[in-house]
Amino acid sequence: MSEEAAPEVKKDLRLVLLRILALVFVIALTVLLFIYRDEIQKFKAYGYPGIFLVTLLANATILIPAPGVAFVFAMGNILNPWLVGLAASAGGALGEVTGYLAGFSGQAVVERMDVYRRVQPFVQKLGGLAIFVLAAIPNPFFDLAGIAAGSLKMPMGRFLLFCWLGQLVKMTCFALAGLYSLNWILGR
């Protein structure tokens, strides 16, 4: 092995180890969130910080649905729906970093999924706009967009910004829907 190749091998090895560590972190967090899902619901007693934590944890799961938007819907009727949307979107965007990290670590598991093969070119072509649109609409496949963004090496700051903006639209709509629909149903 030449002296020029040695630093490149070390760099590749560090990248592989970093990717493995990111993947182990994502898997461990997803398993823990699934195991402690009932305990997570207790955060609602903590108001806006609780909303932030619940949506962060709900969005941190990979390909396992968690009841984050249902919680936001309910809290929109109890607290200021605009602030609920703001707290939920910040938590939701940070929670989606797990999908991004899973993509950065190597997405061999989802790479063969048909739906991933449809999402990945959309993210590759439209970048942040694709992340915004997919985060703004309720869909169970946003994790795949985060995985695609990570695998395409989209800068994390850019991913977080567009994810937060999309989450802000979605979560505020759910909070407002909770306010108006529950008030209408209850006759307030």
DSSP of 93-151, one letter per residue?
A: HHHTHHHHHHHHH--TTTTT-HHHHHHHHHHHHHTHHHHHHHHHS--TTHHHHHHHHHH
Model confidence pLDDT, tens digit, residues 80-110 = 999 999 999 999 999 988 888 888 777 545 6
Model confidence pLDDT, tens digit, residues 140-182 = 778 888 888 888 889 999 999 999 999 999 999 999 988 887 5
Give me the DSSP letters along 151-188.
HTT--HHHHHHHHHHHHHHHHHHHHHHHHHHHHHHHT-
Supply the range of the domain harboring residue 168. 5-186
Is the pLDDT at 41 greater than 60? The verdict is no
CA-CA distance, 140 to 24, in Å (whole number)? 22
Tell me, what's the pLDDT at 20? Answer: 75
CA-CA distance, 155 to 15, in Å (whole number)? 16
Q: What percent of the chain has pLDDT over 70?
A: 68
Model confidence pLDDT, tens digit, residues 54-66 = 888 888 877 666 6
Tell me, what's the pLDDT at 85? Answer: 96
Is the pLDDT at 125 greater than 70? The verdict is yes
- Among 82, 83, 86, 88, which Cα is nearest to 70's? 88
Reported pTM: 0.72
Tell me, what's the pLDDT at 139? Answer: 80
Domain tally, the chain: 1
